[in-house]
Amino acid sequence: MKPFLRNITFAGISLLTVLVIFGGGFMIGRGNSSTSIPNYLSGAVNATNEADFDIFWEVWDLINDRFISASTTSQVSEQDRVYGAIRGMVKSLGDPYTDFLLPVANAKFEESIHGEFSGVGMEVGIRDDYLVVIAPLKNTPAERAGLKSDDLILAIGGVPTLGLSIDESVSLIRGKIGTTVVLTVERGDSGDENSEVFDVEVVRENIHIPTLDTQIINGEVFVISLYNFGASSSLEFRRALREFIVFHKNKLILDLRGNPGGYLDTAVDIASWFLPAGRVVVIQDTGKEEKTFRSSGYNLFNDDLKMVILVDSGSASASEILAGALKYHNVAKIMGTNTFGKGSVQELITITPETSLKVTIAQWLTPGGQSISDGGLAPDVVIDETPNDEIDLYDFQMKTAVDFLTAQ
pLDDT of residue 191: 63
Residue predicted with more confidence, 341 or 30: 341
Query: Quick check: 28 pLDDT over 50?
Result: no
Domains annotated for the chain, with CATH where assigned, are 15-24+210-345+355-406 (3.90.226.10), 117-208 (2.30.42.10)
Q: DSSP readout, 22-55?
A: STTSEEE-------SPPGGGSS-EETTTTEEHHH
What is the mean predicted confidence (pLDDT) over 330-356? 93
pLDDT of residue 104: 76
Distances (CA, A) of 367 to 190, 226, 279, 322, 347: 34, 22, 9, 11, 22
Q: Which helix (H) or strand (E) holds 64?
A: helix 53-66
Calculate the average pLDDT of the chain: 85
pLDDT of residue 229: 92
- Single-letter residue type at 35: T
Query: Quick check: 21 pLDDT over 60?
Result: no
pLDDT bracket for residue 195 (50, 70, 90): confident
CB 96 within 8 A of CB 166: yes
pLDDT, tens digit, 9 for 90 and up, residues 65-121? 999 887 766 678 899 899 999 999 998 998 888 999 888 777 777 665 554 567 899
pLDDT bracket for residue 9 (50, 70, 90): very low
What is the mean predicted confidence (pLDDT) over 40-44? 37
Instruction: Choose among 229, 316, 310: nearest CA to 267.
Output: 229
Rounded CA gap, 248 and 3, in Å?
Answer: 9
Q: Give the range with max mean pLDDT: 26-30, 90-94, 189-193.
A: 90-94
Query: Quick check: 196 pLDDT over 50?
Result: yes
pLDDT of residue 97: 86
pLDDT, tens digit, 9 for 90 and up, residues 140-160? 999 999 999 999 999 999 999
pLDDT of residue 285: 96
Query: Quick check: 308 pLDDT over 70?
Result: yes
Helices (H), 337-407: 393-406
161-170, 255-264, 353-362: which has the minimum mean pLDDT?
161-170
- pTM to 2 decimal places: 0.80
Query: Quick check: 7 pLDDT over 60?
Result: no
